[in-house]
Amino acid sequence: MSKTSPNSRPVITQEMIKAYDEYTHLTLDRRGFMRQLNKLAGSSAAAAAIVPLLQANGARAALVAPDDSRISSETVRFQGATSKVEGYLVRPAGNTDKLPAILVVHENRGLNEHLRDVARRLAIAGYMAMAVDFLSPVGGTPDDEDEARQKIRALDAQQTLQNAEEAVAYLGIRADSTGAVGAIGFCWGGYLVNNLAVVSPELKAAVSYYGRQPDTTLVPQISAALLLHYAGLDDRINAGIEDFRSALTDHGKDFTIYMYEGVNHAFNNDTSEARYDEKAAELAWKRTLAFFKEKLQS
């Protein structure tokens, strides 16, 4: 008997979410994930109904439509570590002022419509935002998420970090930029942003959503202000928080940590129905915009 809610929708348990997290971030392959999900759901039919609720749904991605009259967008390319890197750059439409700039770093699915939408939301808030495709050196983000995750895992970590540094530099020297540059990243991107804060003295403000922490011995090198959002149920990522907090405190760094209790990894991703938490996402976004305003516009 499959597990269903009173309105016949499948019930998604925390065990199912953890299995999905292991599949998308650790060592569980798709066959193993489906076998585990079938067992947890009670039947293969129930598991098949649950999978789309766990996965991101690109059709739900646009809070700000690509053709919204309030923004203007373009594809840009800048020189990375070994090749050109592509970015989706968005500005408030009709605004000719120099603006603070924000680098947007995607999850381990690559640059998809959800992350382009995040860039558009930042443009609506008055920033020049650039969502970079960090899979550009290997042909760009594929449509298939499993393939994208495999390509992310195969990236050279040092070259990828250098590409992020070059993105910050590119945003800082653009004629339409004030030179004040921040970065925001989610999941894999949150980890990359944390490491970017270690290596980039040009970065003024970094926001990491449920991103793994950098090596604490590197904390003295951080000059950017940090805003760190974590999900209360995200045991995998949260295991490193206290050591990171202690190192940041010991070295007098400018940081704020928020824990959102009772929510899962990826709680901000409104295209993932099972893990998205509207209340936590809205609060985190409000705090993010306030942080960027303080650090990039003052």
Kindly give the confidence (pLDDT) of every residue in the chain, 298 residues in length, as a single tens digit, with 9 standing for 90 and above: 344 444 556 777 777 767 776 776 666 577 777 777 777 777 777 767 766 766 666 545 568 899 999 999 999 999 999 999 999 999 999 999 999 999 999 999 999 999 999 999 999 999 999 999 999 999 999 999 889 999 999 999 999 999 999 999 999 999 999 999 999 999 999 999 999 999 999 999 999 999 999 999 999 999 999 999 999 999 999 999 999 999 999 999 999 999 999 999 999 998 877 789 999 999 999 999 999 999 999 7
Q: Which two tokens stand for residue 2?
A: 């499959």
Residues 179 and 94 in one domain: yes
In a domain, 4, yes or no: no
Sheet of 84-92: strand order equals 71-79, 84-92, 128-133, 99-105, 177-186, 203-209, 225-231, 255-260
Q: Which two tokens stand for residue 148?
A: 């994208």
The dihedral sign for the CA sequence 126, 226, 200, 81 = negative
Q: What is the CATH number of the domain that holds 108?
A: 3.40.50.1820
What domain range is 40 assigned to? 14-54
Residues 47 and 195 in one domain: no
Residues 41 and 179 in one domain: no
Residues 121 and 41 in one domain: no
pLDDT given for residue 248 in this prediction: 98
pLDDT given for residue 114 in this prediction: 92
Q: What is the four-CA torsion angle of 258, 261, 265, 269, rounded to 10 degrees? A: -80
In a domain, 153, yes or no: yes
In 107-249 the beta strands, taken as DSSP E runs, fall at: 128-133, 177-186, 203-209, 225-231
Q: Are 207 and 184 in contact (CB under 8 A)?
A: yes
Residues 19 and 144 in one domain: no
d(CA 132, CA 256): 25
pTM, full prediction: 0.86
- Residue 96's identity, in one-letter code, is T
Q: Which two tokens stand for residue 152?
A: 């992310």
Residues 150 and 31 in one domain: no
Residues 41 and 167 in one domain: no
Residues 152 and 178 in one domain: yes
In a domain, 252, yes or no: yes
d(CA 220, CA 215): 11
Q: What are phi and psi of 288, to 5 degrees?
A: -65, -45
Where among 5, 23, 54 does a domain terminate?
54
In a domain, 9, yes or no: no
Residues 90 and 207 in one domain: yes
Residues 184 and 280 in one domain: yes
Q: What are all long-range contacts of 161-164, with beta carbons under 8 Å and residues at least 24 apart? A: 161/192, 161/195, 161/196, 161/199, 162/80, 162/81, 163/80, 163/81, 163/85, 163/132, 163/134, 163/136, 163/137, 164/103, 164/105, 164/132, 164/134, 164/192, 164/193, 164/195, 164/196, 164/200
In a domain, 1, yes or no: no
In a domain, 5, yes or no: no
In a domain, 167, yes or no: yes
In a domain, 166, yes or no: yes
pLDDT given for residue 25 in this prediction: 66
Count of domains in the chain? 2
Residues 40 and 121 in one domain: no
Residues 29 and 157 in one domain: no
